Amino acid sequence: MSQSRNGGNADAGGDPPASDRFEEDVLALVPALRRYARSLVRSDPDGEDLLQDCVEKVLARRAQWRGVNLRAWAFTIMTNLGRNRHRYLAMHPQVALDEDLGLEAENRESDPLERSRLERALNGLSSENRSVLMLVVIEGYRYQDVAEMMAIPIGTVMSRLSRARRQLAEAMKDDNVISMRRPK
């Protein structure tokens, strides 16, 4: 199995008993999983929900883990949960929940309008295209890894990546932003 750039960090030390170690390994993955969860959904509460769903599933299915690359396995589970969620929400539209859990990124210096524009553009992507884009761009997985994780041919990975990038670029076109002229 090919290794991702930052995959396979499931650690090599072996002190605690096996069951605890699995949980510790999962715990160590939580930050990365939190980021990936948030990158798949529309709001912070949705991201935390998806994260919890994923952790639950990972723990419930630990017997099915083949012992290789826990990170990629957890990301696959998250990807599928994200897709189900997307489908569920498409059939059961809900009022957006935007209560603030104080979980947002700390780095908030960037233009809030620019961020919300990017988020809106992302929300226009299909769940499949969005997952591929996030796995590659944010999580740093290689195309072959993504293909394995999503159980799709590499050609499909490439076409999804391509579609996601084009659609995002189209939505983010600069022609509706005019930089403010400061008269001083």
Minimum Å gap between C-beta 9 and other proteins is 13
Binding-site member from 45, 86, 126, 156 for other proteins (CB under 8 A): 45
Question: For the window 66-95, what string marks contact with other proteins as x by the rule CB under 8 A?
Answer: ----------------------x-------
Residue 157 DSSP code: H
Our CB check for other proteins shows the closer of 7 and 47 to be: 47
Query: Which residue in 3, 52, 68, 153 binds other proteins (CB under 8 A)?
Result: 52
Cα torsion angle, 87, 88, 92, 98, sign: negative
Q: Which run of H or of E encompasses 80?
A: helix 70-91
- Which residues have C-beta within 8 Å of that of residue 58, sequence separation ≥ 6? 26, 73, 74, 77
Nearer of residues 37 and 78 to other proteins, judged by Cβ: 37
The DSSP letter of residue 68 is S
Q: How far apart are CA 25 and CA 23, in angstroms?
A: 5
Instruction: Report the b/e string of 40-51 with b at 16+ CB within 10 A.
Output: bbbbbbbbbbbb
Encoded tokens for 73 = 């396995």
Q: Which is nearer to other proteins, 151 or 169 (CB)?
A: 169
- Interface mask (CB under 8 A) for other proteins, residues 101-140, using x and -? xxxxxxxx-xxxxxxx-xx--x----------xx-xxx--
- CA angle 95/100/106 to nearest 5° reads 135
Task: For the CB of residue 152, give the shortest distance to other proteins in the complex, in Å.
Answer: 15
Closest to other proteins by CB, 87 vs 151, is 87
Helices of type H across 101-153: 112-123, 127-137, 143-150
Interface positions, 14-33, toward other proteins (CB under 8 A) = 23, 26-27, 30-32
Nearest to 158 by CA among 166, 2, 79: 166
Contact positions vs other proteins (CB under 8 A): 23, 26-27, 30-32, 34-35, 37-39, 45, 47-49, 51-52, 55-56, 59-60, 88, 97-108, 110-116, 118-119, 122, 133-134, 136-138, 142-143, 158, 161-162, 165, 168-169, 172, 176-183
